Structure 1
């Protein structure tokens, strides 16, 4: 599977992300291109023939094309980065990423990709420490939970080997990010608070404050339990939190009829 057909469809439809829904009407013409979540509203109108000529359809298509045209330069830059990474031309990839950070300062992805290549591929610990510091400072200046979480995940994530970075400074930076996220958390609903608390708990667990990590996971359980979520989603989130809690406590834990035990270490 080369993905060429996907690429052709995306270009032809001015779409830059998957999944995308394509709805064909009774005459064999594409009546709708867009997010899957909109299908529930759009599909019945396509089926009964009222969609194509409606003002709603025309406005939706105009908005979609306008958004695509705005996003086109950014998507083209991301394709350059992907092409360079595919042939392991990391110098070119980094140059394009740095260009992206300047041209699209509101896009977190370029910052995340910067860290990923420097630490995950090149192991340039001196350069990545500078980049991590810049990422954290930008997140603090923006005071945005999305940015703060993203920066924290790059500083304390489960996928990178951080050996070679100054531990005390990294921990101090992560602590400031965590405290800022916690101050913003009450403004948000349970799903986002769940995600934030899991991320912060991982930092505290890794930095040695396991009691704080356990407390955060237990709070997250209460948030999710009291949230208005679909049963399947609620059960899944609670099961994930309980598994994390079991790992942190080193024993079986139960909540609301769901139990989890620490995974056996090989």
Structure 2
């Protein structure tokens, strides 16, 4: 349990309690299920029942790596999307056909259930929870404290083939996009900046980030807007222009669709004077 302890323990908004089957905290707001060595081994019914009760009560559940098998064994993942370490995805699919197994993704969030791949992806998943609870700026700070990059997107792949360029191949172009977020960003402009043909750029970008270029740009714009809402007193109009959304109306529409709340509501929850939730 060292990964969630390390991540959640960096913020005073969380109270981390490590427990076993017999001292399971029934009131926990977030339950983290660690991976275990052999997913074929049966999970004690008492443990499965405790997980089912937590889910029925509305707790969020994070399963790291093979911890997903415990959730599947308890029937918690029936009809839900989930992932695990790439070595175990086929095993998960065979053992639990009712689970919608998503391959080669760092983590998958389906409602209140979040499943992740290996240890590194477990950090991503826990940072995602911090970002959801306290905002992107706080998550960035926790990532720095645990000596990790800012939380990566759920859609990033777990692995790449042997001929895939290194992760840093297009890093300069990605940094350029972030520095020029308020301008008109197109695939062609990114390809020109990287000195690659449009087709080669699209293929290489997808290999490095796990998503098409403009989808990545859209995510960066949302993330940039979240950080400005959290840390600045800029107006919605100014943030819309700075992050490339154009008009305030367009920004409000897209932000609400992607984040689930309006920019104003998000600022009230995660802005400089907001305390945010205090899960345990």
Name the structure with the higher helix share. 1
Larger Rg computed on CA atoms: 1
Query: TM-score, normalised to structure 2's length?
Result: 0.28
